[in-house]
Amino acid sequence: MLHYLDYGTGILVGRSVKLRVSPIASLVVGVSVPVFWHIPYPFALAASSSGVEVLAVLTLTCSGILLGGILDSLTRKFKFYLLGLWMTGDTVLSTIFMTGGAYYTSRYIVTSPYSSSQLGFAGIAMFIFMNVTVVILIIKLLNDMFREELDKTEYHNV
């Protein structure tokens, strides 16, 4: 759950800071870093080594800043696409965790501190958190869309 906080904080900071970085590079780094840290071996390594966990926190926060810095320049359609990608990835990972997450446990990765039952609870928490977050984001996006339509209608009626 810490990864949500790191990445989400980065996105919020990035939205308020204007960086001079290529939008394509920001998008690639902003999406690939979280994917990397959720591959079984890096995931387990970060959980078993405090130094690697600090690296994970820093890179997740920085990649969130990069993505957050370009969000305003993306089309609504592309934002929905990114939301869909996140939902797909998070659903897959939470399902893997809820079904035992064997590839993330010490059964497959010696350094992993996780048991199947720990990952099961994490998967349930991830799934709930993701769905609550998605509902909030969709309400915000729809509210913005309706506000824009209302502004257009009021402008044309004047």
> Cα(7)–Cα(83) distance, rounded to whole angstroms?
14
Statement: residue 26 has pLDDT above 70: yes
What is the mean predicted confidence (pLDDT) over 34-56?
95
Looking at residue 147, its amino acid is R
> Cα(60)–Cα(30) distance, rounded to whole angstroms?
8
* Cβ burial, residue 143 (10 Å; 0-12/13-18/19+): exposed
What is the mean predicted confidence (pLDDT) over 55-76?
95
Please report the pLDDT score of residue 63 as a whole number: 97
Statement: residue 148 has pLDDT above 70: yes
Q: Provide the CB-side half-sphere exposure for 34 (13 A, CA).
A: 28
> Cα(94)–Cα(1) distance, rounded to whole angstroms?
11
pTM confidence score:
0.85
Contact 56, 46 (CB under 8 A): yes
